[in-house]
Amino acid sequence: MIRGTDIIPMIYVLDTETTGLRGCPDDHVVDVGVAYLNTTTGEVKGVFSSIVGYDISSWDSAHKNAWIFENTDLTLEQVSNAPDQDSVREGLIEIIGDRNVTSYNTAFDFGKFLFKDPWDIGSYISEYPDIMIKAASFCKIPGRYGDYKWPKLDHAYSLLCPEDPANIHGKQDHRALSDAIVASYVLKALIQRGLYPEFIS
């Protein structure tokens, strides 16, 4: 578990990895990561990372064979041996409580998971606009109804951050902390281009 705090004005960027897309309680958060963007210096730094522990003996095959376990280095064994959800929630709130927090797809990370039972962190943070939705106006992927599609994180990052400040070398690893750092650089680029005017440091 990585922990850290800072008092300089900043935006905290959160990411989750889960066993599915349905949200709590049908699916589980198995990996949580938080990075911050220091809006004064431009520094991006990871400040929290934890796998979330569960008794996987009660899981069905769909959960045990979830996309996250088939396509990343996260394993069921790691989940079975990790700190439990209550412990991770406590550590998470310690980091982001009373902070400006967003994510790349807040409807997923917050709406489907972390604002619902058993996480219920919504009252502890100041939620800021979704990075993904703001990135759509830059990426300009044509949508079906004349608007722009929401870009995937790796696509937005490749367009907004061609110098690859997160050093992912063209491949997103889909772990929570790494993705939170990548999303933080996307946010930084949006702010620099005047496309995220809501935040006042």
The answer to whether the beta carbons of residues 185 and 44 sit under 8 Å apart is yes
Quick: pLDDT tens for 73-84: 999 999 999 999
- How does DSSP assign 98-142, residue by residue? TSEEEESSHIIIIIIIITSTTT--GGGSEE---HHHHHHHHH-PB
- What domains lie within the chain, and their CATH numbers? 10-192 (3.30.420.10)
**What does the mean pLDDT of the chain come to?**
93
pLDDT score for 60: 96
Helix axes 176-192, 131-139, angle to 10 degrees: 50
Quick: pLDDT tens for 14-50: 999 999 999 999 999 999 999 999 988 999 999 999 9
pLDDT-derived band of residue 94, with 50, 70 and 90 as boundaries?
very high
**What percentage of residues in the chain have a pLDDT greater than 90?**
87
The answer to whether the beta carbons of residues 34 and 95 sit under 8 Å apart is yes
- What type of residue sits at position 10? M
Quick: pLDDT tens for 115-156: 999 999 999 999 999 999 999 999 998 887 768 899 999 999
- Which is nearest to 101 in space by CA: 74, 81, 72, 130? 130
Instruction: Say how far apart CA 131 and CA 124 lie, in whole Å.
Output: 20
- Which is nearest to 30 in space by CA: 119, 104, 120? 119
